[in-house]
Amino acid sequence: SKLGEDWIFLVLLGITMALVSWSMDYASAKSLQGSGIPEMKTILRGVVLKEYLTLKAFVAKVVGLTAGLGSGMPVGKEGPFVHIASICAAVLSKFMSFFSGVYQSPYGYTDILTVGCAVGVGCCFGTPLGGVLFSIEVTSTYFAVRNYWRGYFAATFSAFIFRVLSVFNKDAVTITALFRTNFRMDFPFDLQELPAFAIIGISCGFLGAFFVYLNRQVVLFMRRPNILTRFLTKHRLVFPAVVTLVVTTLTFPPGFGQFMAGELMPRECINSLFDNFTWTKIWGSPLPPGLGRSAVWFHPDVSIFVILILFLIMKFWMSAVSTTMPIPSGAFMPVFVLGAAFGRLVGEIMATLFPHGILFDGILYRIIPGGYAVIGAAALTGAVTHTVSTAVICFELTGQISHILPMMVAVILANMVAQGLQPSLYDSIIQFKK
Amino acid sequence: SKLGEDWIFLVLLGITMALVSWSMDYASAKSLQGSGIPEMKTILRGVVLKEYLTLKAFVAKVVGLTAGLGSGMPVGKEGPFVHIASICAAVLSKFMSFFSGVYQSPYGYTDILTVGCAVGVGCCFGTPLGGVLFSIEVTSTYFAVRNYWRGYFAATFSAFIFRVLSVFNKDAVTITALFRTNFRMDFPFDLQELPAFAIIGISCGFLGAFFVYLNRQVVLFMRRPNILTRFLTKHRLVFPAVVTLVVTTLTFPPGFGQFMAGELMPRECINSLFDNFTWTKIWGSPLPPGLGRSAVWFHPDVSIFVILILFLIMKFWMSAVSTTMPIPSGAFMPVFVLGAAFGRLVGEIMATLFPHGILFDGILYRIIPGGYAVIGAAALTGAVTHTVSTAVICFELTGQISHILPMMVAVILANMVAQGLQPSLYDSIIQFKK
């Protein structure tokens, strides 16, 4: 096989990349850690964070993010992209102010940063609409409607270029969604499945709140003064190195990784979780053609349920810990993957409970576990970030809007539960940094 | 045939309904004419319009709207629905204030009205997301992000009930989109088609500005004091009666209506314009099965192009004039139909220019005129209302998001042109009423 011949090499590469990433960061400015969304929220409220939106920060963040993503850790790129796009917007507006006085007013500056945030999320996933809405929800309290139009404009063109580039690059034949799904459209789901969707929503609310709690506990532990943390503060490279070592060792595909689909990159992971097969039906029989990378989820001796549950538990704490590392890292993508896995688990359980599908009007409609995975992904990211526009991001990412109502119900339920239990991940980070 | 046996009956019915509608209105309060969105925008800016949000206004508007829609005139229901939902919200909050003090604060009142507007659009089309965004764009200048969540919540449940009712009513087998389309998803469009989408956007910008201009000219003409208008002001029933008579006579299906698909109700009209056939290829040969109501667009002696152009021209002035009548009437749906027809026209022209489709990577991809119709509908409504969220409403109405990028480009171009030429329809109405 391609992967896994050289365990030592992979671990070393992972550690090296994480360290390069972290040191790039540290050398330039300590404030570049993490996603950047909490800082942007603070700046848009009127707090001046010096040197946060400079060209130097831009270079450091881009290099740091590239290295961080290359390390294979469960970290995302959407938060750092918000920061990077805001820096671009700020620097560009400073440059433009030589030509036009419009760019010098403080109101104009806030407008430009708001639009920058919108573009950041939009071009990261190629989801202009969801990107604008998500960035409004996470960064603003009061929003000037004129910026909605501007954000939409900028995000559409960035998403457009992002998708056109992949066409020119021959990655895609035409402009389509990033994680395109192919669920049937004539009867996407039955009303009798709604309780299952509601359960996904409520469970994701609890899981999301627990994720924020776990993330905060790790940060608080690292700050508590004792022998261990004093040692870690002195030798700043040790914490990321140890985390990387543990995570890469556990996900090593020929080792424990074979029980948690460790071979899959985040993008493959999402594509396979959203696929159109019913895994519990396939497992045990010869794998059908066209399964593609989803085949990694199948282990000859271990049930699909065990693998999904192991994946969920392992990735859950890995994501919560990894996002506390002092590297540029977003939590959106890891949480999205977790949500998709949880939704898939519920979908596969439903497919086992109703093996012949659900009877309606004399026709048996098969359960689509992939649809549950999409709903789970939207609900869990919604719960962690306290936003509802993750549903829009999901429609744009999958290119299908057929599950709109159950998804919105699930996202709203997840938000109700999570907002009652914990602050959003970004507000939780703002609270420490104060 | 079912329709058209009794010309006199149809005209009389139309006139009677329009008159009932108008007189209901006039008897209760003059301010209930038109869509209500301009008034809501004024109220949300802090102007107090007395007796605009009372139970009496609610009853009058509901009866007036029902009669107005029943008259068969090209008027929509989304604007009045915004007003009706806002009245519900206002009355409900007055009722709730007996139990909780929260409802007495002026801030809370504005919040409740904002959410009411969102629900109005959302439940009108079963499009919660687009409804919330559209109502934000047309009614607010600064928007409190907390209301986004609330609007989303309320609109989802209203859309949910709206769609579930149609399932219980056996109109639909499960919860699906209102105007569901079935375009191919693997290759929805080719990049080489983008110039055509851009042309739709720019043309719709001009058409939208012209619509607003025409609408204003009719109102200004009616206000100019001369013998005719003095007569019309004295005999207030004459203007709506004459308009209804002319419109119903012209659209009478066995008469001139056969050249402009006069037989189709607005809903059938949209469904047929969004269908998956290429009409120019079908015309002249025996009609294929499964064409359904789209067959009305085919006339044995007249080309599809002539029928589409006649439809456009006739419906254009009819819609612009009808929306000035003193009855509760929205302009969204008529403009949506016009945009769909214009998009279809461009799509059919493209299908004639490239009869074998567009070559890409060795495969010929057929042009889908229905996709052009969806884009035209979004672009023209966007141009008339100066909003970009009409694209979202389109995704939700059709249940397909595959044309997202060309649609957003078209909507943005339409907005750029229209915003440069004319105020939005709602702002134009606010300007007279001042």
Residue-wise pLDDT for A215-263, tens only, equals 999 888 888 888 888 887 777 777 878 888 888 888 887 778 788 887 8
Enter the tokens of residue A148. Answer: 């909605």
d(CA A13, CA A240) in angstroms, rounded, equals: 13
CA distances from B116 to A141, B90, B318, B385 (A): 20, 8, 30, 19
pLDDT digits (tens, 9 = 90+) for A45-95: 777 776 777 777 777 777 777 777 777 777 888 888 888 888 888 888 887
What does the pLDDT read at residue B348? 92
Residue A257 has what DSSP assignment? G
Q: For residue A144, list its beta bridge partners.
A: B142
DSSP A363-431: EEEPP-HHHHHHHHHHHHHHHHHT-STHHHHHHHHHTB-TTHHHHHHHHHHHHHHHHHHS--HHHHHHH
- Looking at the complex, does the CB of residue A271 fall below 8 Å from at least one CB of chain B? no
Residues across chain B: 434
Q: Is pLDDT at A398 greater than 80 in this prediction?
A: yes
Q: Is pLDDT at B383 greater than 60 in this prediction?
A: yes
Neighboring chain A residues of B111 at a CB cutoff of 8 Å? none
What does the pLDDT read at residue A396? 84
Residue A111 confidence class, pLDDT cut points 50, 70, 90: confident
Residues across chain A: 434
Instruction: Give me the amino acid identity at A95.
Output: F
d(CA A121, CA A80) in angstroms, rounded, equals: 9
pLDDT digits (tens, 9 = 90+) for B34-48: 677 888 888 887 777
pLDDT digits (tens, 9 = 90+) for A112-154: 888 888 888 888 877 888 888 888 888 877 777 777 888 888 8
Look at A405 and B159 and tell me if their CB atoms are within 8 Å: yes
CA distances from B252 to A409, B9, B262 (A): 44, 11, 6
Smallest CA–CA distance, residue A391 to chain B, in Å, is 10
- pLDDT average, residue stretch B401-413: 86
d(CA B430, CA B434) in angstroms, rounded, equals: 6
What does the pLDDT read at residue B271? 87
Contact B293, B264 (CB under 8 A): yes
Residues whose CB is less than 8 angstroms from the CB of residue A358 and which lie 6 or more positions away in sequence, other chains included: A190, A192, A193, A364, A365, A367
Phi, psi of B247 (to 5 degrees): -65, -50
pLDDT digits (tens, 9 = 90+) for B305-341: 999 999 999 999 988 888 887 777 788 889 999 999 9
Q: Using CB atoms, pick whichever of A128, A182, A187 lies closest to residue B174.
A: A187
Look at B187 and A173 and tell me if their CB atoms are within 8 Å: yes
Q: For residue A157, list its beta bridge partners.
A: none
Q: For residue A105, list its beta bridge partners.
A: none
Neighboring chain A residues of B175 at a CB cutoff of 8 Å? 189, 191, 405
pLDDT digits (tens, 9 = 90+) for B179-205: 777 777 666 777 778 889 999 999 999
CA distances from B315 to B260, B369, B377 (A): 9, 20, 14
Residue B143 has what DSSP assignment? E
Enter the tokens of residue B256. Answer: 């001139």
Look at A141 and B145 and tell me if their CB atoms are within 8 Å: yes
What does the pLDDT read at residue B7? 66
Q: Which of B156, B157, B181, B398 should we substitute to test contact with A (largest number of A Cβ atoms within 10 Å)?
A: B156
Residue B1 confidence class, pLDDT cut points 50, 70, 90: very low
Contact A40, A141 (CB under 8 A): no
Q: For residue A240, list its beta bridge partners.
A: none
| H helix intervals, A126-237 | 128-139, 145-168, 194-223, 227-234
- pLDDT average, residue stretch B110-122: 82
Smallest CA–CA distance, residue B61 to chain A, in Å, is 29
CA distances from B123 to A346, B73, B84, B116, B161 (A): 30, 22, 11, 11, 9
More confident call, B201 vs A11: B201
pLDDT digits (tens, 9 = 90+) for A254-294: 778 788 887 888 888 888 898 888 888 887 777 777 777 88
Q: Is pLDDT at A35 greater than 50 in this prediction?
A: yes
pLDDT digits (tens, 9 = 90+) for A335-386: 999 999 999 999 999 998 888 877 776 777 788 888 899 999 999 999 999 9
Q: Using CB atoms, pick whichever of A173, A187, A415 lies closest to residue B361.
A: A173
Q: Using CB atoms, pick whichever of B137, B156, B412 lies closest to residue A412.
A: B156
What is the residue whose two structure tokens read 């007003």?
B83
What does the pLDDT read at residue A185? 65
Mean of the per-residue pLDDT values of chain B: 81
Q: What is the CA radius of gyration of chain B?
A: 22
CA angle, corner B85, sides to B80 and B88, nearest 5?
Answer: 130
Smallest CA–CA distance, residue B265 to chain A, in Å, is 24
Q: Which of B165, B174, B388 should we substitute to test contact with A (largest number of A Cβ atoms within 10 Å)?
A: B174
Question: For a pLDDT cut of 70, what percent of chain B falls above it?
Answer: 87
pTM of the model: 0.84
Contact B113, B90 (CB under 8 A): yes
Q: What is the CA radius of gyration of chain A?
A: 22
Q: Which region holds residue B392: left if phi is over 0, alpha if psi is between -120 and 50, else beta?
A: alpha
Of chain A, the end-to-end C-alpha distance in Å amounts to 49
d(CA B112, CA A19) in angstroms, rounded, equals: 51
What is the residue whose two structure tokens read 């010309």?
B7
Phi, psi of B147 (to 5 degrees): -75, -20
User: Residue A351, Cα to own-chain centre: how many angstroms?
Assistant: 27
Residue A179 has what DSSP assignment? T
- Looking at the complex, does the CB of residue B401 fall below 8 Å from at least one CB of chain A? yes
More confident call, B199 vs A162: B199
| Number of Cα atoms under 13 Å in the Cβ half of residue A180 | 17
Stretch 110-129 of chain A: residues touching chain B, C-beta under 8 Å: 128-129
Q: Using CB atoms, pick whichever of B145, B408, B409 lies closest to residue A140.
A: B145
Contact A61, A80 (CB under 8 A): yes
What does the pLDDT read at residue B339? 95
Q: Is pLDDT at A101 greater than 80 in this prediction?
A: no
Contact A76, A334 (CB under 8 A): yes
Residue B359 parent element (H or E): strand B358-360
More confident call, B13 vs B263: B263
Q: Using CA coordinates, name the residue in chain B closest to A136.
A: B145
What does the pLDDT read at residue A418? 93
Query: Within chain B, what is the greatest distance between any pair of CA atoms?
Result: 71
Look at A145 and B148 and tell me if their CB atoms are within 8 Å: no
Residues whose CB is less than 8 angstroms from the CB of residue B365 and which lie 6 or more positions away in sequence, other chains included: B187, B190, B357, B358, B359
If you average pLDDT over each of B31-35, B84-88, B402-406, which comes out highest? B84-88
Q: Using CA coordinates, name the residue in chain A closest to B170.
A: A361
d(CA B408, CA B194) in angstroms, rounded, equals: 12
Contact A292, A416 (CB under 8 A): no
